[in-house]
Amino acid sequence: MKKFFATIIAVVLAACMLVSVAACGGNAHTGLNIVALSAGYGREWLDEIAARYTAETGVEVNLTAEYSAENLIRSHLSGSNNQDDLYICTDASWKTYAAQGKFLDLTDFVDETVDGVAIKTKLADEYKDSIYYTDHRGETHVYRLPWTAGTGGIYYNAKMFEDNKWPIPTTVEELKELCTTINNARLPVAGDRMETVKPFVYTGQNTDYFDYVVFTWWAQLAGVDAIDEFLKYENYTNFDAATSATYGYLEDAVEAWAELFTSENCVTNCQDKSNHVAQQNFVNGYAAMMFNADWIYNEILGYSNADVDMSNFTLALMDTPVIDGAQYRNVNYVVGEDQFIAIPATSTMADEAKEFIKYIVSDDGIETFFEKAHSLLAYDSTAPLTTSDTVLSKVLSVREKSTSFTDYSDSLLYLANQVNIWGTSAWRPFMNVLNGTSTVATAFTTIASSAESNWPTWLANVGLS
């Protein structure tokens, strides 16, 4: 084990000895209580880090890892006797919890060192500013740390591509041509006489998966700097694609998506599919490609039941094809701005929780997550990650050659969950386009008019009117 772990043992033990007598009552408990999301990246990485932490500090870890961890956290934070000490989860409500004072202030903590550098220095570039929460009084604090830096994109069945000698598309036009090729081939799906292989399968229950590619196309057209400017959310007119060049580029990106996701190009009944059902369709050969993020790898590796045949499937990630009119090619939207690592303000073991966070963001923790969860934490290792795994190698390649960005904003409108890139999540246009109730143009016209009418209310809700 690296010197880092050895050097903090004394710190942890000293902290344990300094716990006051008052802390022994009320919410006092034995062991560090952690609630974590087990979806996608699983819990194996966290189990391993917890075992190291306990072996070296003597502090037991009580880990509750659940698929619906956000509901558990919401329930515990609203209770009067919260026993939790650390949260690792995905939920945009972290911003609300921070505003309500339910998360511990970590402003001083991010200056502490891990692997010889400050924690805030270890943050990946796209997340360096996202830790700072500025409230309505203009005071800036750190209430949560980011968790993962997910790599979204177009994942494909490399074995299917190789067997059929399909070229990997490098442009959106080539991707359209590939869809035609796949449809014309009318390849039978093994074990299903009624279906032929389609270009795409998708999850209708998680249409934000489309964001991962569409936002990259948006950045290819508009540039990361223009998107950063948009994310200031300074005026409702920025949501008018007819007058705002930046938002107009987003409409262009969605139009490109709509031309791909036609009924002819997609597996039937995708609108009713969960992410797991859609992914299992993908593995079972119903589709050649899927818009997704890198957690798909970890989830597919966990598929071992009889309903999933892995014999004709090899997962791969392509470089996001370049959209027509692109001005910037090496850009990449990073998934995970709604994820958080946070300590509830009521924790009686906050010092121990902080030390556990250090284990997570250390070089050892980063490598453990990479190997066990098959993805990247939102932190840079002082030693470059290496692997012989083809999927992970591609993930590293995409990140290393790209200018990455997230959808974080320090606008109070965003931090109060009033506004996001779509105006609101309910205005995300993909489902309405898929079910035929709207065109892309109509959806963006609706966003523009809705943003204008709601803007005064949004401002009032955050005290800016």
| Digit-coded pLDDT (tens) for 100-146 | 999 999 999 999 999 999 999 999 999 999 999 988 788 899 999 99
Q: Tokens representing 7?
A: 């050097």
**pLDDT tens sequence across 350-371:** 999 999 999 999 999 999 999 9
Provide the 10 A C-beta neighbour count for residue 456. Answer: 12
What per-residue confidence (pLDDT) applies to 27? 55
- The separation between the first and the last C-alpha atoms of the chain, rounded to the nearest angstrom, is 55
Three-state helix/strand/coil letters over the chain: CCHHHHHHHHHHHHHHHCCCHHHHCCCCCCCEEEEEECCCCCCHHHHHHHHHHHHHHCCCEEEEEECCHHHHHHHHHHCCCCCCCEEEEECCCHHHHHHCCCECCCCCHHHCEECCEEHHHHECHHHCCCCEEECCCCCEEECCECCECEEEEEEEEHHHHHHHCCCCCCEHHHHHHHHHHHHHHCCEECCEEEEECEEECCCCCCHHHHHHHHHHHHHHHHCHHHHHHHCCCCCHHHHCCCCCHHHHHHHHHHHHHHHHCCHHHECCCHHHCCHHHHHHHHHCCCEEEEEEECHHHHHHHCCCCCCCCCCCCCEEEECCCECCCCCCCCEEEEECCCEEEECECCCCCHHHHHHHHHHHHCHHHHHHHHHHCCCCECECCCCCCCCCCHHHHHHHHHHHCCEEECCCCCCHHHHCCCCECCECHHHCCHHHHHCCCCCHHHHHHHHHHHHHHHHHHHHHHCCCC
Query: Predicted confidence band at 392 (pLDDT cuts at 50, 70, 90)?
Result: very high
pLDDT at 298: 94
More confident residue, 11 or 50: 50
| Mean of pLDDT values over 208-228 | 98
Q: Does the pLDDT value for residue 305 go beyond 70?
A: no
CA distance 147 to 134: 20
pLDDT tens-digit readout, 18-47: 333 333 334 568 899 999 999 999 999 999
Residue 159 has pLDDT above 50, yes or no: yes
What is the token pair recorded at 222? 């508009």
Is the pLDDT at 15 greater than 80? The verdict is: no
Give the integer Cα–Cα distance in Å for 238 and 444: 12
d(CA 45, CA 372): 5
Q: Read off the tokens for 305.
A: 């039941």
pLDDT in tens, 407-429: 999 999 999 999 999 999 999 99
Q: Please state the rounded mean pLDDT for residues 312-340.
A: 96
CA dist 335 and 199 (Å) reads 23
10 pLDDT band, cuts 50/70/90, is very low
Structure confidence at residue 152 as a pLDDT band (50, 70, 90): very high
Task: Please state, for a pLDDT cut of 70, what percent of the chain lies above it.
Answer: 93
Q: In whole angstroms, what is the distance from residue 361 CA to residue 423 CA? A: 33
pLDDT at 304: 67
Query: Lowest-pLDDT range, 24-28, 80-84, 242-246?
Result: 24-28
Using 50, 70 and 90 to split pLDDT, how confident is the model at 11?
Answer: very low
Fold of 151-334+411-461: D-Maltodextrin-Binding Protein; domain 2 (3.40.190)
Distance CA 404, CA 212 (A): 12
Please give the single-letter amino acid code of residue 304: S
Would you say residue 98 has pLDDT above 90? yes
Q: Supply the pLDDT for residue 268.
A: 95
pLDDT at 441: 98
Contact between residue 51 and residue 391 where contact means Cβ atoms under 8 Å apart: no
CA dihedral 294, 263, 167, 319 (to 10 degrees): -30
How confident is the prediction for the chain on average, in pLDDT? Answer: 92
More confident residue, 206 or 17: 206
Q: Which two tokens stand for residue 199?
A: 């270009």
Residue 196 pairs with which residues in a beta bridge?
188
**Four-way CATH pick for 3-149+336-385: 3.10.105.10, 3.40.190.10, 3.90.600.10, 2.30.30.180:** 3.40.190.10
pLDDT at residue 372 in the model: 96
Q: Quote the pLDDT of residue 22.
A: 33
Four-residue CA torsion sign, 68, 74, 75, 77 = positive
List every span in the chain annotated with CATH 3.40.190.10. 3-149+336-385, 151-334+411-461
Give me the pLDDT at residue 237, please: 98
- The whole-number pLDDT of residue 7 equals 44
